[in-house]
């Protein structure tokens, strides 16, 4: 992944990096890629909770938004956006990126890079995430290995502030012992089931 997921790799061979993300961008927009039952359940939960809901994802796709979520932080960036290497301006971008494409702000060719957090770069939205963790009544982690920090440390932060912590995963994560409640299985099954149970026990 060093060739396509580091600033050094982009500086060394930008065409290779752009080709990699162009292919992923096209794949994301193909008809067979669609939100699943877990995405739809989380959108339903946001509809009910409104501003008391925040979804933080390490995924760079737009499936949560397509399911209906609006309060989403993509801490590792977004595949359907690009960023100017000089100004930092972020642009919506659904097509391929080439060396001839110019940034709208600086008009320099080859200035656009994927709006994706690469190894060695700071995740996005961290201040807002930690504020939400400090205020949360319930923290739910879904489909995570627990290997990648800082995200793997979110459950500990939420616990420190008194949140009820829930892991919904295919199998126990590396930080599974930190969670007060755990349910394992396919996300498309365990997430809707848990949210149904949560809403039955806590009617809004």
Q: Where are the domains of the chain?
A: 35-75+125-201
The tokens of 70 are what?
A: 């609006």
Out of 76, 104, 147, 183, the active site residue is 76
Integer Cα distance of 141 and 139 in angstroms = 7
Q: Which residue reads 């977004």 in tokens?
A: 78
pLDDT of 202 reads: 81
DSSP-assigned letters across all residues of 69-113: --SEEETTEEEEEEEETTT--EEE--S---TT-B-TTT--BT-EE
- In a structure prediction context, what are the per-residue pLDDT tens digits for the chain, which is 204 residues long? 778 999 999 999 999 999 999 999 999 999 999 999 999 999 999 999 999 999 999 999 999 999 999 999 999 999 999 999 988 999 999 999 998 888 877 777 678 999 999 999 999 999 999 999 999 999 999 999 988 899 999 999 999 999 999 999 999 999 999 999 999 999 999 999 999 999 998 876
Are the beta carbons of 79 and 62 closer than 8 angstroms?
yes
Are the beta carbons of 174 and 202 closer than 8 angstroms?
no
DSSP, collapsed to helix, strand or coil, labels residue 180 as: coil
- CATH hierarchy code of domain 35-75+125-201: 3.40.50.1220
pLDDT of 75 reads: 98
Our answer to whether residue 161 is catalytic in this structure is no
pLDDT of 67 reads: 99
pLDDT of 204 reads: 67
DSSP, collapsed to helix, strand or coil, labels residue 20 as: helix
As a whole number of Å, the CA-based R_g of the chain is 18
């Amino acid at each position: 992944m060093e060739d396509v997921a580091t600033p050094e790799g982009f500086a060394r061979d930008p065409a290779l990096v752009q080709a990699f993300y162009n292919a992923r961008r096209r794949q994301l927009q193909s008809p067979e890629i669609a939100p699943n039952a877990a995405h739809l359940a989380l959108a339903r939960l946001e509809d009910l909770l409104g501003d008391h809901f925040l979804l933080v994802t390490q995924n760079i796709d737009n499936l949560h938004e397509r399911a209906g979520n609006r309060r989403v932080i993509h801490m590792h960036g977004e595949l359907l956006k690009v960023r100017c290497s000089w100004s930092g301006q972020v642009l919506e971008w659904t097509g391929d990126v080439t060396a001839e494409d110019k940034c709208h702000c600086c008009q320099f060719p080859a200035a656009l890079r994927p709006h994706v957090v690469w190894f060695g770069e700071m995740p996005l939205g961290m201040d807002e995430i930690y504020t939400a963790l400090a205020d949360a009544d319930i923290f739910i982690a879904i489909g995570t290995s627990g290997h990648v920090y800082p995200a793997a440390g979110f459950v500990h932060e939420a616990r420190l502030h008194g949140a009820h912590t829930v892991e919904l995963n295919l199998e126990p994560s590396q930080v599974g012992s930190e969670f007060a409640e755990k349910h394992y299985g396919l996300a498309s099954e365990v997430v809707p089931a848990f949210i149904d149970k949560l809403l039955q026990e806590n009617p809004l």
